[in-house]
Amino acid sequence: MKDISKLIQGKKLSELDVKIVHYIIENIDDVLEKGVRGVAKDNYTSPSTVIRLSKKLGYTGFIDLYYQLLPMVKKTEGLQLDNDDAFLSISQQDFFKENRKEDIDQFVQQVLHLKQEYIFIYATGFSAIAAEYLYKKLLVLGKKTVIATGTDSIGVFENNLEDIGAFIVISKSGETQQVIDKLLVAKDQGIFTITFTKETANRAAELSDLNFKITDNYKLDDRNMLPNSFFPRLLMLVEFIFKTYLDGLQKKIANK
């Protein structure tokens, strides 16, 4: 089940463009050999249309498009979730397959040690549920925090820009346009930005100062219809970050 809604969101694609994207995904094993001309021929269009499509999606050309899509398609196809033990197993090692201990330390220093400025959290859809958990966790730790979701007025974000010390985004796809727009504003204001996204390349990860990568079992299931351990892994990573923070506080107290 492959859902390309986030992949093509905001790209102003024609019906033919969308058809070609689906074709490339469904024929990922053969399209590189077919090349631009072969893909164009199979879709009754011109090579220039395929090249323009690649650029509309933000890639330098067809080859770049292919190699960006390949890991998303292959990882989606290769994951089998019929092994309950493997599916439900989350360990500390999972956090460091894609992330570094230094990343967690940087989050602690630049976010959890903020004194006067606010932490602002933004997310939409299913990600907003996880964002609400992070928001409440920060509140009980005494951190000045604001949260907004896709249903909130843009003013909630824009009216607080001068007081934001860290801007946190949770976005499974890393391609939601509302998220990208706010990241661009935050970057322009010099606000430190943090994103929690899937582990493969995405715009939100590239824009942020600090990105945490979490395994997304089905990268082409943007509606989150299939069983996926992305959000459980995300919450466990959040808890591990807070554990690191509290362990550091305890060490400081012990050394006094």
Pick the most confident of 24-38, 69-83, 158-172.
158-172
pLDDT band at 81 (very low <50, low <70, confident <90, very high): very low
Q: Cα dist. 58→112, 139, 205 in Å?
A: 34, 38, 15
To which residue do tokens 């943007």 refer? Answer: 222
Across 1-144, the runs of DSSP E, i.e. the strands, are 118-123
Give me 41's structure tokens: 């021929």
Does an H or E element contain 190, and which? none
In this structure, are strands 118-123 and 164-170 parallel, antiparallel, or unpaired? parallel
C-alpha span between 106 and 147 (Å, rounded): 21
Q: How many residues does the structure list for the chain?
A: 256
Kindly state the percentage of the chain with pLDDT values over 90.
55
Q: Provide mean pLDDT across the span 195-223.
A: 88
Q: How does pLDDT run across 214-225, given as a tens digit for each residue?
A: 988 777 777 777
C-alpha span between 181 and 186 (Å, rounded): 9
The one-letter amino acid at 29: D
Distance of CA 252 to the CA centre of its chain: 34
Mean pLDDT of the chain: 87
**pLDDT higher than threshold 80 for residue 242:** yes
Give me 109's structure tokens: 């220093």
Q: How does pLDDT run across 145-174, given as a tens digit for each residue?
A: 999 998 888 888 998 899 999 999 999 999
pLDDT score, position 130: 95
